Amino acid sequence: EPEVTQTPSHQVTQMGQEVILRCVPISNHLYFYWYRQILGQKVEFLVSFYNNEISEKSEIFDDQFSVERPDGSNFTLKIRSTKLEDSAMYFCASSDDTLETAQHFGDGTRLSIL
């Protein structure tokens, strides 16, 4: 069964550094998402992306965050200047264009900010 893959599985970065999290969505999917989960808390929506532009973003997704689909397969989340509170699991998800669809999630990248 096709799946969403995320790399790296664990990223350790110094505060203030830029970080890029990478995702390869399921190949025929057209809608892409990023969520995050701080340890012990709920999964929170960050941003949705369709047709090469952001569809919706949450309050968490401020100017330090950006997303990009640089080619036909990758979907990236960039944090420009990381803060301690950015430490979390980041999940990428994708969904297809059928009417009754569900989001399929990767297993996440654990981001640790030192």
Partner 1 sequence: DAKTTQPPSMDCAEGRAANLPCNHSTISGNEYVYWYRQIHSQGPQYIIHGLKNNETNEMASLIITEDRKSSTLILPHATLRDTAVYYCIVSPLNRDDKIIFGKGTRLHILP
User: Residue 27 or residue 81: which is nearer to partner 1 going by CB?
Assistant: 27
| Segment interacting with partner 1, rule: CB under 8 A, options 12-20, 65-73, 74-82, 88-96 | 88-96
Phi-psi region of 99 (alpha: psi -120 to 50; beta: other; left: phi over 0): alpha
For residue 39, state whether it binds partner 1 (rule: CB under 8 A): no
Of 99, 90, 97, the residue nearest 29 (C-alpha): 97
**Rounded least distance, CB 65 to partner 1, Å:** 15
Tokens at residue 52, please? 């090469």
Asked if 55 and 109 count as a contact pair (C-beta separation under 8 A), the reply is: no
Residue 107 binds partner 1 (CB under 8 A): yes
- Residue choice 25, 26, 33, 82 for contact with partner 1 (CB under 8 A): 33
C-beta neighbour count of 24 within 10 angstroms: 16
Q: How far apart are CA 25 and CA 20, in angstroms?
A: 16
Residues that bind partner 1 (CB under 8 A): 4, 30-31, 33, 35, 42-45, 48, 50, 55-56, 58, 91, 93, 95-97, 99-108
